[in-house]
Every structure is written in C-alpha cells, then in structure tokens.
A and B are shown apart, each in its own frame.
Chain A
Amino acid sequence: MGELLHVAASRLAAYGYLLTGSQHAGEDLVQDAIVKVFVRRRRIPNVQAAEAYVRAAMRTIHLDAMRREARWRKVAPGQVAQQERPDHADAVADTDAMGRALATLSGQERTAIVLRYFDDLTVTDVAAHMKLADGTVKRYLSNALTKLGEQAEALELTVERAPVGPRRRS
C-alpha cells in the first residue's frame, strides 16, 4: 500500500478530482477505494495492478455514491450535501479554461465525460457502469460536449457531437 501511494498517489488523486470535481473529495475517494481493495485479501502482483484495482474501485464507489445521492435527493431534497469546501482545485478551475468548462457540467455529465474520454470507455461500457441506457449516456455526452464546445476556443478543442435520438413531440 505504501508503495502504491508513493508511486501513484498523484495520478489517483487527479482521477478522483476529475470524477468528483473536488480535490478533497477526490482524496477521500482514493482512500475509500484503497480500503475497499485491500480489505479483501487478494493477490495483487505489482503496483500497476494495484493502481488499476484502486481506479476501478474509485469508479464504482463514485457511481454508487451518485446513485445514492440521486435517490435521496428525490425523496429528501435539501438533505444531500451540495458543495464541498473550496480547495486548491477550485482556484485552478477558476483560472484554467478546462476547469471552467468542467465546472459547467452536472455530476452525471462530468462522470460520463471522464469515463468516455479519460478512461476511454465505449458509450456502451459507460452506460453499463452508470447503469443507464446508451441513449441516456449519449444525451449526457452531447449536453456536456455542447457546454465544453462553448469553451472550445479557449480549450483549442475540436468538439465532436455524439448522436442522440430524436425527442417525441405531441
């Protein structure tokens, strides 16, 4: 565990930040995932494998937390914590075009973008992880890319649009 933290703490923290949008929440996510992975006695051949385990656990814990939060937000609006305390990442986000762009995304949109474009998962795999229909993920990605596209000039990105099915109209 010590070797893992020495070698990969920064990368894991960055992944946690991208998922959660908060440096502190990202660090907490890293620690929760490490506990989850190491509580279970299993053979982990090397530190690279351990990092992969922890990243997968971070993704699972984050998605579980999002689902729980959404569930309780429905039955108890106002009872779910809305904001983490400001941290270094907020300062970076304020001055960084990517940070400003990410800040415009909802939690679901942000997660979909990170899984699709940072983890390089397919839309189908993103949908499976988020337990959503493919079409719903495409909609999140499309909305997110639209928002990022508004920052495209600053980001110097070429925004590609994911196809989304048509809306029904009465």
Chain B
Amino acid sequence: MSDLHERLARHGSDAVAGSQTRLASQQTSDALVARVRTGRRRRAMGGAGVVAGVAVLGVGLWAALPGEPRAWQPADGRDSSYVYVLASDADFPVTEPTVLVDGDDATELQCGDTVSLTPGVTVHDEAAFEGAIELKALLGEREVSQGGGFDYASVEMWTAMWGGLGLDWQVGSYLLDGDTVVAAVNGIRTVVNVADAGMMWGGTTMAALSPEQCGSGDEPSFPEYPELAPAAEPGMVPVLVAQAMEGGRLLATIVVDPRVPTAIPGAEDLTEPSGGVFQEFVLPRPEAACDALGDMRASGSPAQGDYVSLTNLGDAVLPFSQVLGGSTIARGPLPDWIEQQNAWIVIDSGEGAQSIPLHWIENGDGRAELQLGGDGAPDPLLAEGCETPDAIQGDGAVFLVVDGVSYADLEPLGASGLFDVDPLVDDTGLQTWIYLGSASQ
C-alpha cells in the first residue's frame, strides 16, 4: 500500500501550512534554546524526571492492612504493592514532622542528609484524621525508552496513587544507604483539590534512584535512564515519601519502605462501584468442579496478592438486581476483551458462595447481551457429572467473572509483561473478577 504512504505524506504536508513559519521563527528558536538550557542544568544536577498526572475519582475507602516486616528484595518483574490508609478512627500519635519533601533549601530532604524515617503513616495534625488520607504504591520494573530512540531499559520505578478530601500532596523518591540519603528527587506536587467531588486521587510514576542522583525533575515525558542500573546495591533501599497538606498545613507523612510491606486489598476490601467504575481482580482460572468459582469465593478469592485495579465500563453493566433468574447482567457496547468470552456471576448468598454461568444473546442491532442461565454453551468450569445450577439469588458480594484479561488494565500495574498473549486470540488462563456491588434482599 505504497500509495497510502504517499497520500499520508501529501495530506500531512497540506495540513500544516504555517507550521514552517512558526517553528522556524526566532521566537520559537529562543524558547527552545531556553528549554534546552534549563533541561541541561537539571541533567547536570543529576535529576531524574517524573511523569505526573492528576486524577479525580469517587471511590470507597480501602482498609488499613499492616503486614509483617520482611526483608526487601529487588523487584523481579512482579510488583510489590503497598497500601496505607489513615482511617478517621485511627489511633496514631500526633508528632512534629522530621523531614520535608519540599521546603526551602535548609529543611528539604536532600542528598547527604542523615535521617530516621518511620515507615508507614505519621500524623502531624489532628485534621489528618478527617482527610481520608490514602496512598497506594507499587515498586516494580518498568521498560522505559532511552533518548527518544528504540532502545528500552528496564528500570525500577515507583507507581503511586494518593487520595484524600481536598488535599495537596508532595512526593519524593529517595535512596537510602543506612540512614544517609544518597539519592533524592523532591517536590513532585500534585493538587487533588476539586470541590464537591468526593474522594480525590492523584498519581505519579517516578524512578527508584541510583546513587548520586540528586535534584528535582519535571521533564515532560519519561526521562532517559541509560545510567539507571537496578538501584538495589547492597544495603541501599529505595523509599517513597509522600506528605499530605491542607491549606499549607502539613497533615501527615507516609513513608513507603519496601522492607515493611502492607497487603493489597483482599477478600473483604472491596470498592463499591461508582459512576460506571468497577473494581476488578485478576485471578488464575480454576480447574473444573461442580462449583469452581463458588468454591474460590468461599475460600477467600479475590484475595491478598491478586492484581487489582479499577475499570470504567460506563453504563454497559446494568444496575444489579437481587432477583437473578433470567436477568440481563450487561448490555453492549462492552470492551472488546469482554465480548464473547465465557462469563459467570458469583454471589455470596446466605447459604455460601454460588456461581452460575452467563450466556450471550445477540440482539438485532448487532450488540450482545449477557444473561443468566438459559441455553448457553456448556460451562467449561462445570465438571463432568455435575448439575448446572439453577438461577440463584441472595445477598452479599456479587462478581461478574470474565474468562480473560485486559492488557490495558494490567499495564498500570506493571503486570502486562507477564501475559504476552492477545486476549482476543489466545487463552491466557486468567480470569477477571469485576465487583458489581453488594446485594441485599
């Protein structure tokens, strides 16, 4: 289709009349020279860059899940996850801050400082208990491009999301050698203060640093990390420090130390759907049984250690009905990776967890619907000799289980590389459990 190449070139050329004049102007040249000089100064300081973004989302509260201390080990491609929540009824002492992620030169946490960082949440102001402070962090390997070219390097990165009610956050990435800061990037400020929108979320991705990287970074895209070997030199530990503020008051400090992990949300830590956004978990597909998915739920799935994320299904998934017999669960358009996959409903009824297969109905307009029961295809998880369950109803947590996985959902978790197959074509051996909410009779 060489003619397509030529047509694209011709169309592109026609569409950018005036661009040559603007880009080659003295004004643009001066601005670019200034940006390059600024960037070179930052590089000379050794600063690493960040990718910053601001998100706003109404979600429920995760529970605090302190874990047992364990030795930190370098990421091996699977992320380590950390979750901190400051609940309103928490019993934390209120102390003065010992470090500042962002301050004047005298107080800001910098390379060479000797510090004593307390892992977890430290409260500095009583108002922190009212701010619904939360931090979720992932430490794992990421592939980043170098120099705008084709080479990719595997580097260790923090991915962090923080939430709260009308809070500003300052976040820094540090490398500690004992109590000494040997690398630091300070002052990633994200304002998540949007009035009357409920819970706010912000987030960033930043490098776990190598020794001697000191400075502040605000490059607009992924930085170049040719020098970033894994940070895990013996005795050195990457930490993430996040500080929540309100109206200039420092409310709390959260220190994420990979030697002191927390658990990610487990079976009883479910986020209620909000505005078409659903919590979803990725689990391995079980062996066939008489009620394989009900057995999984009864044994605690989704559980600590599963990949968990949020997905926006808009209004495709219908409001949950307590009467399940013959109900339509979802109506298109659904994401491609869902349509035509095997699917089930799992519910915690008063008599224990149960599951029932769903089947697809093709509508006249070409859209597909997921419905309970009926004469669908054989249930691949129903073992030989077992009876197909009747329609179920009950109360408790309800999940839509889809026999497949979305790469787009896994990517933010750094997990997509584990599943190098096309979910539309190949069988991943994974399931996605989408939490539809809690039913009550």
Nearest to A75 among chain B residues (CB) is B55
Which residues of chain A have C-beta atoms less than 8 A from B51's C-beta?
64, 68
Cα distance A127–B161 when bound, in Å? 28
Interface of B is mostly: mixed
The answer, yes or no, to whether A109 is at the interface (CB within 8 Å) is no
Known A-B contacts A67-B411, A68-B53, A71-B412; the reply to A31 vs B15 at CB < 8 A is: no
Instruction: Assess whether A169 is in contact with B56, with CB atoms less than 8 Å apart.
Output: no
Instruction: Please tell me the size bucket of the interface on A.
Output: 35 or more
For the complex formed, measure the closest distance between the CB of B47 and the CB atoms of chain A, giving whole angstroms. Answer: 11
**A20-43 interface (Cβ within 8 A of B):** 23, 26-27, 30-42
- Contact pattern, A 127-145, Cβ under 8 Å of B = 1, otherwise 0: 0010111111001000000
Is B8 in contact with A139, judged by CB distance below 8 angstroms?
A: no
**CB–CB A26/B16 < 8 A:** yes
Q: Which residues of the partner chain A approach B145 to less than 8 Å between Cβ atoms?
A: 60, 64
Rounded to whole angstroms, the CA-CA distance of A136 and B408 in the bound complex is 11
- How far is B10's CA from A102's CA once the two chains are assembled, in angstroms? 13
A23 in contact with B16 (CB, 8 Å): yes
Who on chain A is nearest to B41 by CB?
Answer: A39
Q: In the complex, are the beta carbons of A133 and B376 less than 8 A apart?
A: no
B 138-149 binary contact with A (CB < 8 Å = 1; else 0): 000001010111
Contact across chains for B32 and A35 when beta carbons are under 8 A apart: yes
CA distance A159 to B252 in the complex (A): 59
Quick check: B3 and A158 within 8 Å, CB to CB?
yes
**Cβ of A74: which chain B residues have Cβ within 8 Å of it?**
309-312, 408-409, 412
A12 at interface, CB cutoff 8 A: yes
Give the residues in chain B near A114, CB-CB below 8 Å. Answer: 8
In whole Å, how far is B19's beta carbon from the nearest beta carbon of chain A?
Answer: 3
Chain B, residue nearest A12 (CB): B23
Q: Compute how far the CA of A120 lies from the CA of B201 in the bound complex, rounded to whole angstroms.
A: 40
Q: Does chain A have a CB within 8 A of B420?
A: yes
**Chain B: interface size category:** 35 or more
A124 to chain B, nearest CB (A): 13
- For residue B331, CB closer than 8 A to chain A, the reply is no
| A30→B16 CA distance, assembly (Å) | 12
Are A170's CB and B360's CB within 8 A?
A: yes
A107 at the interface (CB under 8 A from B): no
A47 within 8 A of B: no
Compute how far the CA of A9 lies from the CA of B424 in the bound complex, rounded to whole angstroms.
Answer: 41
Per-residue CB contact flags for chain B residues 271-311 toward chain A (1 = under 8 Å, else 0) read 00001110000000000000000000000000000000111
**Residues of chain A lying within 8 A (CB to CB) of residue B69:** none
* B17-A117 in contact (CB<8A): no
Nearest chain A CB to B402's CB is how many angstroms away?
11
- A48-71 vs B, Cβ < 8 Å mask (1 yes, 0 no): 000001101111110011011011
> Do residues A168 and B55 form an inter-chain contact, with CB atoms below 8 A?
no
**Residues of B close to A30: CB separation below 8 A:** 23
The yes or no answer to A79 lying at the interface (CB within 8 A) is yes
User: Quick one: CB contact mask for B36-73 with A, threshold 8 Å, 1 for yes?
Assistant: 10011001000000010111110000000000000000
| A156 partner residues in chain B, CB cutoff 8 A | 3
Q: Is A153 close to B, CB under 8 A?
A: no
Chain B residues 362-411 with CB under 8 Å of chain A are 376-377, 407-409, 411
> For residue A53, which residues in chain B have a CB less than 8 angstroms away from its CB?
147-149
A170: which of B376, B412, B422 is its contact (CB, 8 Å)?
B376
Among listed B125-133, B183-191, B218-226, B256-264, interface-contacting one = B218-226
Q: Which residues of B contact A133 (CB under 8 A)?
A: 407, 420-422
Inter-chain contact A158/B23, CB cutoff 8 Å: no
When the two chains form their complex, are residues A117 and B409 in contact, meaning their CB atoms are under 8 A apart? no
Give chain A residues whose Cβ lies under 8 Å from the Cβ of B1: 117, 157-160
Closest to B376 in A: A170
Q: Is the CB of A64 within 8 A of B148?
A: no
B249 adjacent to chain A (CB < 8 Å): no
Q: Is the CB of A167 within 8 A of B57?
A: no
Distance in Å from the Cβ of B302 to the closest Cβ of chain A?
19
B33 on the interface (CB 8 Å rule)? yes
B32 partner, pick from A1, A6, A102, A167, beta carbons under 8 A: A1
Chain A residues near B35 (CB-CB < 8 A): 31, 35, 39
Q: Looking at the complex, which one of B29, B219, B342, B359 makes contact with A1 (CB distance below 8 Å)?
A: B29
Known: A5-B28, A26-B19, A92-B14. A157 touches B7 (CB 8 A): yes
Contact A15 B12, beta carbon cutoff 8 Å: yes
A-B CB contact pairs (8 Å), 13 listed? A27-B16, A30-B23, A31-B28, A35-B39, A37-B148, A56-B148, A64-B222, A74-B412, A92-B17, A118-B5, A165-B425, A167-B339, A170-B343
Interface residues, chain A, with chain B CB atoms under 8 Å away? 1-2, 5-6, 9-18, 23, 26-27, 30-42, 53-54, 56-61, 64-65, 67-68, 70-77, 79, 88-89, 92-93, 96, 98-99, 102, 113-114, 117-118, 120, 129, 131-136, 139, 148, 155-160, 165-170
Instruction: Known A-B contacts: A9-B23, A79-B56, A92-B11. Give 13 more (CB < 8 A).
Output: A1-B29, A6-B24, A13-B19, A13-B20, A14-B15, A30-B23, A38-B36, A88-B18, A131-B143, A131-B411, A131-B416, A135-B425, A156-B3
